[in-house]
Amino acid sequence: MDAADFPELPLPDEIARAEAQRLTGTLITPNGSLGRLEELGAWIAACQGQSPPRPFTRPRVVVFAGDHGIAANGVSAYPAEVTGQLVGATLTGGAPLNVLASAAGATVRVVDLAVDREGSATPEAAELKVRRGSGSIDREDALTGEEVRAALQAGRTVADAEVDSGADLLVAGEIGVASSTPASVLVAALTGAEPVAVVGRGSGIDDTAWMRKAVAIRDGLRRARAVLADPVALLRTTAGADLAAITGFLAQAAVRRTPVLLDGLVVGAAALVAEELAPGARNWWAAAHRSSEPAHALVLEHLDLAPILDLDLRIGGGSGAATALPLVTMAARLLAETSTYEQAGVTPPK
């Protein structure tokens, strides 16, 4: 089977969602007083196909790492070698994501798809590596046809492995200097936005780097629009192995009926492509937060997803999703563990 071929996706269980909504009305809280937590609880119930939902026991964050040839254009505040350094820091537990994930009760896995160095920090991280770096998307394809399918399959393989090993909630993150540039091109291409509408500060770039980034996105978008009708060609032309793998990961999670917390811009851009490849996948995703990157607002609007948090985060890497994870955990537990009026002997409202 081609890595880009996905079966028709199931919908979350609407009967379980309706039952969760009914159950919420019997709990010892004023109707609607838990706000978005009620909505999240019903979504979790629908994804699990049962009400009340099971509390999550094995949330898993998977970080996809890769370098991008466009970094040579000076579009990031960091040199390209920082990607490998951040991979090392995450593998040893010293990155912000590690702290946030640990606090939220999640474990972290790092997958090196395209870090531009021999091997990786660990052999396990590099077992699905596609290549070193990617083409500079302003003037050449990011990947070959064979590479883009290998990256999509890598993402699908990782999703299957995590679900098979017991993961009941997935989070995708990324590590890659300059990754917001191809992500912004993807967003502009798929939402019809102009380049200037998607150019953000990313890693904290100054005005000069912002202008270089705007030019890179403009040139990348010109090439992307030529293949807009073909999601795989769009990934080949514009993305990189990390973004392609995240795309496969998100779509396959939906195939496996496993809920996903979406992070910021880079994961959001991959989500747009995943929805093109596997229509309906977005029903299995929740938007963890609203990034301060302008392109991310376009992602949320296009996917019709309301963010759980809005903390002005720009860090990416899965950190925003890890920050929202405790709220998602609470939403499931509220439905599962809160007493009803009858159980508590409390008089319900009239």
Cite the active site residues: 317
Closest CA to 253 of 178, 170, 329: 170
CA distance 203 to 208: 13
Beginning with the edge strand found earlier in the chain, give each strand of the sheet holding 169-175 in spatial order: 107-114, 59-66, 169-175, 260-262, 285-287
Closest CA to 263 of 130, 191, 174: 174
Burial class from Cβ neighbours inside 10 Å (0-12, 13-18, 19+) for residue 83 reads: buried
Closest CA to 169 of 56, 245, 263, 270: 56
> Kind of pairing, strands 107-114 and 260-262?
unpaired
Say if CB 70 and CB 292 are below 8 A apart: no
84's CB contacts (< 8 A; 6+ apart) are 115, 116, 117, 121
Distance from the Cα of residue 134 to its chain's centroid: 20
Other C-beta atoms closer than 10 Å to the C-beta of 117 total 16
The tokens of 144 are what?
A: 């070959």
Residue 110 phi, psi dihedral angles, 5° rounding: -110, 130
Say if CB 176 and CB 75 are below 8 A apart: no
